[in-house]
Each structure stands twice: as structure tokens, then as C-alpha cells.
Structure 1
Amino acid sequence: AEKLRKKIIEKTKKEVKEKLGGKEGHIVKAINMLEDLDLTFNMLFEAVRDWYSLHFPELFKLVKEPEKSLELIANLTTREQFSMENILRYYGNEALAKELEAKAKESTGAEISKENANQIKAIAKKVLEIKECREALSKMLEAEMLAEIPNLTKVAGAFLGAKLLRETKSLKRLAFLPSSTIQLIGAEKALFKHLRSGTKPPKHGMILQHPLMRKVKREHRGKMARALANKISIAAKADYFGKKDISSALIKELEEKAEKLK
């Protein structure tokens, strides 16, 4: 009984380590953190925009990029500071800077107290710091993945590759999955709905996030998803069984396939 207990414990330890051990575990935690940072950034940006719109609503109609509008708020803050000279320090579009200056002078927004302006300024700076953290983590994740699983990273992309690892729990499991299963990872709800109520079966899951999927015609997405799943499966096997980089050949075939399906 004691021998059996030890064997079970050892087997369990091995399985736990295999599932999300070492580098793979860090990759999954990093992609989770990236998604959390994106959600946090978007939520806080919306809050800053809602509050600052009371003072200068026209800013967000002219400046569409969240980071740029936050940078202007963090550095200029009140409408009185939106001179063309000041704007151009943080936003290099001369025509838009001129328009912003004009809108600041004739804004429909309300006046703002020094206390409120300082609070919005401080929060805008913190939100920008979150974005900086996100970008640094993104670079680290990609570098780590290229070092550990180069084929999967280059074929699927760092973010999609990390998400596939998260869903399958390990590189080993991903490498041994049939490509038809890889194709539908992330489409579990749609698949269950199909099985339960006879709706159309899903043609792809999170593989839809791959840049090449946006290059093909909508009616050809199923074919492109199959091709991608097949190459991702080959890439995962190449990484699991050795470190030979075969990604260039796989990417070339995928790009040729996408070209045919345009």
C-alpha cells in the first residue's frame, strides 16, 4: 500500500509539473497578466475620458488614440494649455494641433478646478504607466517564447501561441493534439451549442485571431483555419521534440495559402 501511495504521489507530481511547469507556466501567467493589463487600461481610460469630457469633450473627437489623448491630458491638462506650441511637443500632427488649439478656445466644456485638474492629471499619468508595463511585458513574453518555443511563436504569433498553451495546459499536449482539435480551441461554447441544438458547427476558435485570417475572404476562413491549425501542430511538435527552426517553410506555405484564398 505504501509503495502504491508513493507511485501515485510521484505520478501526480510529474503530471502537475508537465501541465504548467517551468517556462510554460511563466508564459501562461504572462499572457494572463497582459490580458488583465489591457482590461485595466481600457477601463481606466474610459473613466478618465468620461471625467475629462466635462472640461474638454472635443479632445476625444479629434484624437482617437487613447495613449495620445492621455499624454496630452497628463502634460497639458487644462484647455488654456492647449496652444499649438504645447500640443506639438506631444503630438506631431501640425494640422490636428491647429484644430485642437481652436477647439480648446471655443470648447463647450465646463471650467475645471485646480484640484480636479490635478487629480485627472495624476490618474492619466498612472494609466500611461500601466500601458508602459504592458508593452514591457509584451516584449519580454515574445523574447521568452522565441527562446523556448521558436516554431510555435513564429507560426502562431506570441500572443496566440501563449493562449493555445494556456488552453492545452502544456506544449506536450498541444503537440499531440489533432490539428482538427487545435482549429476549434476557444470555440467550445459554439461546439456544444451545435451538438445540443443542431446549429451550424464552428469552423474556427481563437485561431481567428491570427493575422492571416484577416487576409482571406470570409467564406474561405474555414480552409485557412485548417491550414493554420495544421502548421501550428507541426510547429508545436518541432518545438517539443527538438529545437530545429522550421518556421520559415511553414510560414511560406501559409502565406501562399492565404494568397490563394484572398
Structure 2
Amino acid sequence: MAEEEEGGIELPSGGVKPTEELDKSIVDKMDLKSVSEVGKVAKLLGSRKLEDVLKEITHFTLNPSPKDIFGPVEENPEYSLIVQANNLSVDVENELLIVHKFIRDHYSPRFPELEQLVLDPWPYMHAVLTLANAPDLTKVPLHGILGPAVIMTVSMTASTTRGRLLSEQEWETVKAGCEAAKDLKDSKEKIFTYVESRMNILAPNLSAIVGTSTAAKLLGVAGGLTAFAKTPACNVYLFGAARRTTSTGLGSHSQLRHTGFIYQSPIVQQIPQEYRLKAQRTVGAKVVLAARIDLERASRDGSYGSGVRTKLDAHLKKMSEPAPLKVTKALPRPDETKKKRRGGRKARAEKESMEITELHKQQNRMAFGEAEEEAEGFGDETIGMGMIGKSGSKVRLATDQKSKLKVSKANRLRTQLLGRSSTSSDALSGTSTSLSFTPVQGLEIATPSLSAAERVKAANDRWFKEGTFSHVAGKGAGTGAGGILGKGL
């Protein structure tokens, strides 16, 4: 179960509480001019804690453990020393900030503008030791310590400085502070070199991704490599996250919420600020996989972690690239008429049905030098007739197939039965009827669909089918002359 400390970080069970880094803004607000000895601010220098860690580091450096480690990493005798030394390096870094502030406060009476000209701690301390308490600061050579541009600025400012010469005791205090800073730096480099060399053996793949210092912090907070490998990836990036913003009387130290050691690792810090929260989740997932590889003692040369680091660098670089600019495309050529994308028989027939007629074409034409005739239109308006009725104008009188009435096949057959004969396609008059009047039967029903031969045959059958003819002799005729019997009947 995780332990929760107010103002601290979330600490899993079995984990070692890491040392909190001191905020530089808090140190800058300190006033150390009244402190006469550097030992009162650099309490870690010469302490038993630092001496014991440095002695054990020297022992294991001369007698290293075998590279082939069997069993859990937590059982290795160097594991606790690595975690302790890594946390101690943070304490050394905090004291270096305080000692730097101590030197600035005590050297400001001699050259108060120097701390604004040289901001980095180590170049500043080297410049202080070189300039010392010289009467003329412009004649002191600073080549190899500061850059050419900074040297020129320092020389010009030193010629007009408002500082004064330090007393012998004041200079000895400044000198002691510089020596203490140098000793702390040597101790930090010794610790860092040891942690880096041993973490490359205990967790080579994990160290290849986030660095040896961050890897040691993660393992120390988690309680070992085994516990860290069992941690879900969604919780790993919270290791080292502050529970809340802590404040003191000297100032406030604020840390971004939901950010821990992975957020502070070099791989995340190298990308812009707005992408770091997203990057720490990606790195946290890969860190757990690398820790499980280390727990299984696979890829002892760190090749897996190196490959993952290369892919992560490429992914984070691509993620932080700005979005491509939108290309403004030119508008398409405006068409006066909408193009018909679909053609064919139906489209052509529709186009032909809406085509202008010959009469309309004649109306749109005008003879040169002649006034056109006009017809009354709607209201007081007149309509020009153009070439209609003029000599030389030709209007098609034939039936236009395009403007004919569209009749379906069924209606066309029905119309033929009603108004056309079976042998002729000529249309009958609209006043024609199927009734006929005969002198014999009066009103009869005619069948116009019958042919002329059929109508003659039908009439003969009706009148002469049952009758017979008799031949008789005519008047004044001899024998053999015949006549019609019953002529007088």
C-alpha cells in the first residue's frame, strides 16, 4: 500500500523516500551576508553520512561485484548503496546552490555586477577565484574561463564598477566558499560516475531510456526492480510526483501536478513544454517494458533499451513538430452553364424536345433596313414578328418528329383500332362513324376494319346467297333465246 505524506510524494510500500530538489528561486531569496563561515550553510561537506557513502563507493569500485547477477536485484549488496548514493547526489546539488549563493553575497562588495553578467555557477566561481581581490579587475586575464563576448562585457563593467576592495578576512571567507564548492562538485562527480557504472549492470535497458540517475530514483521509490516491473504503466510516471504545493516562509516550491521523475528525465525535457505531459505517459509505458526485460536478465548489453530510446526520440520529435500549413487552393473555373455529366438516348431526347422551333428562329431574325411587323401582346406591349411572313422566310410545314406528342404503344394500337383501317394507315375524319344508312335495312353498323373485297362479298352473301336465276326465251326470240323468269314480277 502506498504511503502518503503531506507535502511530499506518493511513496509505494518498500520504497525509499527520495531527496527533494531545492528550488533555485528559494535559494536566490536567501540573505547569507550575515553568515561568516561556509560550514554553517554547507553542512553535508565533511559529514559522516557523505564520508561513509564515499568510502563504500571506493570499496566497491576497487572490488566490483560480478556482472552476472543472479536472483533479485534487491538482494545485491550494492543495490542499497546505489539508491543511497543517488539520493545523496541530490543533497550535494542542493548544497552547491546554497554555497553559490554564499559566494555571491560575500563577493558582491567587490564586484556586484558580476553575478548578472555570469549566471552559471561554475564559470562564476572560476571567475571569482581568478579575479580575486585584485586592485584593477580589467587587467586580470579571463581567457579559457569565460567566452570572448562575456570577457569584453566583464572588462567594460569592471572599469566602472562601484565595488570596493575586500578585507583579508572577507576574501578568505569567499575563498573558503569556492573551495567548499569545488569539494562538493568532486564528490558529486564521484557519486554520479559510480551510479552510472553500476546501474548499467543492474538495469541496463531501463538506464538506456531515462538515464542512470532517473533509473536509480525510480527503483529507489518503487522498492526495487521487482516491484517496479510489477507496477502498471499508468502509475509509473507518477513516481516522484508531489502530493501538493509546499510552501515555506522564504518562498514557495511548486511542481507541476501529475509529474514525477520521468517528467524530469532528459528524454522528456528535450521537447517543448506543451508536449511533455503526453510524452511522459509514452515514456512510462516503455520504461516498464524495459524493467521487465532487466528483471528477466535478458538483453544484458542494453540493446533493447537503446533501440527503444531511438524510436522514442524519433516519435517525440515528430510529435513536437508543428502542424503543416494549409495549402490555399485556387477556386475552380466558373462555368456559365452547369455541365451535364450524364448523357445517352434519354438525355438527347430531352434536349431535342426543348430545342427552339423554326418559327421562333424566324421571329428572332430581322431583315437589314426593314422594319419588322409587330403584334399585340399582353396589355400595352407589342411583340416583334421578325422575319415571319417576309419573302425569303421558310417555315417547315412538315410534321416535326421532335415535337410530336409522345404516345405509348398501347394507346397507339387503341387509336388505330378506333380511327384507322386494317389495310391503310390514313386517319379517318373525326366525324366518321361506324353507323351507316342503307335503303333496305335502314340503319346498319358498318365495320370499317374490313377490306373492300370483304365488304362486297358480305353484301352479295346477304342479298343473293339463297336466290336462284332462271333463263327464259325473250319476246320475238327463237328457241334458245333466254330471258329472266318472272321479269314482270
- Mapped to 2, the partners of 1:48 and 1:92 lie a distance apart of 18
Pick from 121, 130, 142 the counterpart of residue 184 of structure 2. Answer: 130
Alpha-carbon offset, residue 217 of structure 1: 5.2
> Structure 1 length as normaliser, TM-score?
0.80
Structure 2 residue 300 is the aligned partner of structure 1 residue 242:
no
Amino acid across the alignment from 1:253: K
- Mapped to 2, the partners of 1:138 and 1:18 lie a distance apart of 20
Alpha-carbon offset, residue 20 of structure 1: 7.1
* Other structure's SS at 1:80 match: coil
Pick from 69, 83, 98 the counterpart of residue 152 of structure 2. Answer: 98
* Other structure's SS at 2:135 match: helix
Structure 2 residue 136 is the aligned partner of structure 1 residue 78:
no
Partner of 1:253: 311
Structure 2 residue 188 is the aligned partner of structure 1 residue 143:
no
Structure 2 residue 177 is the aligned partner of structure 1 residue 119:
no
Is this contact kept in 1: 2:271–2:317, CA < 8 A? yes
- Range with bigger deviation, 218-227 or 102-111: 218-227
Alpha-carbon offset, residue 215 of structure 1: 4.4
Alpha-carbon offset, residue 56 of structure 1: 0.9
- Mapped to 1, the partners of 2:146 and 2:271 lie a distance apart of 35
Amino acid across the alignment from 1:156: V
* 1:75-127 Cα distance to aligned partner (Å, 9 max, x none): 33114263455322x52423322332332232112331122112211221221
Alpha-carbon offset, residue 188 of structure 1: 5.6
* Other structure's SS at 1:233 match: helix
Is this contact kept in 1: 2:210–2:266, CA < 8 A? no
Q: Relative to structure 1, is the Cα distance of residues 103 and 221 closer, same or farther in structure 2, using a 3 angstrom cutoff?
A: closer
Q: Relative to structure 1, is the Cα distance of residues 73 and 81 closer, same or farther in structure 2, using a 3 angstrom cutoff?
A: farther
Q: Relative to structure 1, is the Cα distance of residues 114 and 18 closer, same or farther in structure 2, using a 3 angstrom cutoff?
A: same
- What are the within-5 Å matches in structure 2 for residues 165-180 of structure 1? 165-180=219-234
> Structure 2 length as normaliser, TM-score?
0.45
Is this contact kept in 2: 1:217–1:261, CA < 8 A? no
Q: Relative to structure 1, is the Cα distance of residues 217 and 114 closer, same or farther in structure 2, using a 3 angstrom cutoff?
A: closer
Bigger share in helix: 1
- Mapped to 1, the partners of 2:298 and 2:136 lie a distance apart of 56
Alpha-carbon offset, residue 226 of structure 1: 1.9
Q: Relative to structure 1, is the Cα distance of residues 243 and 215 closer, same or farther in structure 2, using a 3 angstrom cutoff?
A: same
* Other structure's SS at 1:56 match: coil
* Other structure's SS at 2:142 match: helix
Unmatched runs of 5 consecutive residues or more in structure 2: 1-71, 245-255, 321-489
Alpha-carbon offset, residue 258 of structure 1: 0.6
Is this contact kept in 1: 2:135–2:165, CA < 8 A? no
- Range with bigger deviation, 163-172 or 90-99: 90-99
Pick from 82, 102, 108 the counterpart of residue 27 of structure 1. Answer: 82
* 1:58-85 Cα distance to aligned partner (Å, 9 max, x none): 1112111111111122233114263455
Q: CA RMSD in A?
A: 2.4
Is this contact kept in 1: 2:199–2:207, CA < 8 A? yes
Is this contact kept in 2: 1:224–1:257, CA < 8 A? no
Pick from 164, 180, 187 the counterpart of residue 218 of structure 2. Answer: 164
Is this contact kept in 1: 2:102–2:177, CA < 8 A? no
Is this contact kept in 2: 1:37–1:134, CA < 8 A? yes
Structure of greater Rg? 2
Pick from 203, 212, 215 the counterpart of residue 267 of structure 2. Answer: 212
- Mapped to 1, the partners of 2:194 and 2:102 lie a distance apart of 29
- What are the within-5 Å matches in structure 2 for residues 197-208 of structure 1? 203-208=258-263
- Mapped to 2, the partners of 1:127 and 1:107 lie a distance apart of 26
Partner of 1:194: none
Partner of 2:240: 186
Q: Which has the higher contact order (CA 8 A, sep 6+)?
A: 1
Alpha-carbon offset, residue 21 of structure 1: 5.0
Unmatched runs of 5 consecutive residues or more in structure 1: 1-16, 191-200
Q: Relative to structure 1, is the Cα distance of residues 64 and 260 closer, same or farther in structure 2, using a 3 angstrom cutoff?
A: same
Q: Percent same amino acid at aligned positions?
A: 24
Is this contact kept in 1: 2:73–2:79, CA < 8 A? no
Structure 2 residue 133 is the aligned partner of structure 1 residue 61:
no
Amino acid across the alignment from 1:180: C
Equivalenced residue count is 235
Amino acid across the alignment from 1:34: S
- Mapped to 2, the partners of 1:47 and 1:219 lie a distance apart of 35
* 1:144-169 Cα distance to aligned partner (Å, 9 max, x none): 21122111111111111111011101
- Range with bigger deviation, 97-106 or 243-252: 97-106
- Mapped to 1, the partners of 2:284 and 2:99 lie a distance apart of 36
Is this contact kept in 2: 1:153–1:161, CA < 8 A? yes
Is this contact kept in 1: 2:73–2:202, CA < 8 A? no
- Range with bigger deviation, 24-33 or 91-100: 91-100
- Mapped to 2, the partners of 1:214 and 1:32 lie a distance apart of 20
- Mapped to 2, the partners of 1:120 and 1:220 lie a distance apart of 43
Amino acid across the alignment from 1:158: T
Q: Relative to structure 1, is the Cα distance of residues 153 and 84 closer, same or farther in structure 2, using a 3 angstrom cutoff?
A: farther
- Mapped to 2, the partners of 1:105 and 1:218 lie a distance apart of 41
Partner of 1:38: 93
- Range with bigger deviation, 124-133 or 36-45: 124-133
